[in-house]
Amino acid sequence: MSTAAMIEKMTSAGSRARSALAPWAPIPLRLIVGYGFVQHGFAKIARGPDTFAAILQSLGVPAPHFMAWVSILTELLGGLAVLVGGMVTLASIPMAMLLSVAIFTVHLPNGFSSVKLLTVTAAGPQFGPVGYEVNLLYLACLAALVFAGAGPFSLDSFLKKRDQ
């Protein structure tokens, strides 16, 4: 068998394997994005919504207490929806808006990178302000979920099968 024929055979087998696994691709995206949003929402609750409202006020966000709760609920409820794969497209809209606002109000001046090692001390590494890299990754994952769907083992998939 020629080298070209061997490469063609391996490529064809690889394409079939990828095609068989493709429906499962949304699961890790849902798990990390959903968990990440829920975790950020819980962190804001744990520190107190007033603490987050004070941060929003210092950034010049109008109605900071109201917007703090909008952000917290978007993170908790949107994250939960993505995690279980329910109404992912609908949940992605406010989540993407929240990420976009965070990029333009907080992270853009800090550049792209999310990891800025400043120094290493006896207490451990010290990092600088976070850039917009992670926000873009979350947006890309949300876009992939909107375009590809929530995948198997999702609430959307379960409801679709039940209605058929």
Q: Report angle CA 144, 150, 37 to the nearest 5 degrees.
A: 75
* 114 phi/psi in degrees, rounded to 5: -90, -10
- pLDDT for the residue 7: 65
**pLDDT score of 16 more than 90:** no
One-letter amino acid of 47: R
**pLDDT score of 14 more than 80:** no
Confidence of residue 163 (pLDDT cuts 50, 70, 90): confident
One-letter amino acid of 125: P
Q: Is-contact 142 94, C-beta < 8 A?
A: no
- What's 24's DSSP letter? G
Confidence of residue 99 (pLDDT cuts 50, 70, 90): very high
Least confident piece of the model among 69-73, 81-85, 133-137, 160-164: 160-164
Provide the residue ranges of all domains of the chain, joining segments of one domain with +. 27-148
* Whole-number Å distance between alpha carbons of 156 and 13: 31
**pLDDT score of 13 more than 80:** no
Count Cα atoms within 13 angstroms, Cβ side, for 131.
Answer: 11
By CB neighbour count within 10 A (0-12 exposed, 13-18 middle, 19+ buried), where does 13 fall? exposed
* Mean pLDDT score, 112-130: 94
